[in-house]
């Protein structure tokens, strides 16, 4: 219920922002146009934002020919957790990472990069997928996915301001520039306000319970953080409004990336998982195998 409440508040705020910008650019007529656009965006975001995010990252759905082992693993984890089976996607990127999307557990998807599959052990991959299933179970994906869509729409507003005012006099150009200066960082601020960092700790905790060993996830987080800080993820850099959806922030190339830093400190997350393992009497480290399907 909390996820739906936060989503409704976010949609209302975005509608108000669209209308304000529409009025600033075109008066009463601009306000009406913006209201129509916002209404369309709200409907589209609720029903199709998951598809839009998957398309942004060129995700390919798994089946009997495309990474069937990953699909079987996720479905088994979902069955063990007594959850609906999500759709499973793979993203052809070398940076190891993953995210979940969808408006509810019955309409959800998880996506993993080929870098994750190639660079992690099977246990670590299972732990990462369990973390993403936890986001689905907790209804985090609804607010995460719609936030990504609206953050992108705010950037679209900035571009629209340039187009609308670009051909006018110097005063109009100044207004357009000011709108861009305000709206661009606002996109990042909306993401940070809408997304609570505590959700990652909770997804770590629930994910550890789903996969059965907190140390598998701790090991995966440490590795992913190391690789993500060195390996570029071009599609994520082109769509920074989706960064909050990943298990580890995929951005590191541009200065603006710090604006979209919505993840808690990785070492703090690892410490919390190690504490869980200690309390459960678990001390075995994950396998050192580099191929999760070997």
Q: 78-115 b/e with 16+ CB inside 10 Å = b?
A: beebebebbbbbbbebebbbbbbbbbebebbbbbbbbb
Q: Name the residues annotated as catalytic.
A: 132
Tokens representing 234?
Answer: 């071009």
Structure tokens at 180: 């861009």
Query: CA 94, CA 104: separation in Å to the nearest integer?
Result: 29
What SS3 class is residue 291? coil
Residue of 110, 131, 134, 90 whose CA lies nearest to 293: 90
Helix (H) or strand (E) holding 91: strand 87-91
Tally helices (H) and strands (E) across the chain.
10, 4
């Amino acid at each position: 219920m909390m996820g739906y409440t936060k989503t409704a508040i976010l949609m209302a705020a975005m509608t108000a922002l669209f209308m304000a910008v529409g009025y600033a650019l075109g008066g009463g007529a601009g306000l009406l146009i913006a209201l129509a656009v916002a209404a369309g965006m709200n409907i589209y975001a609720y029903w199709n934002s998951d598809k839009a995010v998957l398309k942004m990252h060129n995700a390919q759905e798994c089946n009997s020919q495309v990474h069937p082992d990953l699909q079987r693993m996720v479905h088994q984890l979902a069955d063990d957790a007594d959850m609906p089976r999500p759709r499973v996607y793979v993203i052809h990127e070398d940076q190891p990472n993953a995210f979940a999307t969808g408006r509810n557990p019955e309409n959800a998807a998880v996506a993993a990069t080929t870098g994750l599959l190639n660079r992690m052990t099977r246990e670590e991959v299972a732990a990462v997928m369990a973390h993403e299933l936890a986001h689905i179970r907790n209804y985090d994906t609804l607010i995460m996915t719609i936030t990504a869509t609206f953050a992108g729409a705010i950037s679209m507003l900035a571009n629209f301001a340039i187009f609308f005012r670009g051909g006018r006099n110097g005063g109009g150009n100044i207004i357009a520039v000011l709108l861009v200066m305000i709206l661009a960082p606002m996109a990042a601020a909306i993401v940070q306000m809408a997304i609570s960092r505590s959700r990652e700790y909770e997804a770590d905790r629930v994910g550890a319970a789903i996969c059965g060993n907190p140390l598998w996830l701790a090991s995966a987080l440490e590795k992913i953080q190391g690789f993500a800080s060195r390996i570029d993820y071009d599609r994520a850099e082109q769509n920074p409004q989706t960064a909050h959806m990943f298990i580890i922030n995929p951005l590191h190339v541009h200065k603006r990336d710090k604006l979209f830093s919505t993840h808690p400190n990785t070492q703090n997350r690892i410490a919390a998982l190690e504490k869980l393992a200690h309390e459960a009497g678990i001390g075995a480290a994950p396998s050192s195998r580099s191929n999760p399907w070997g």
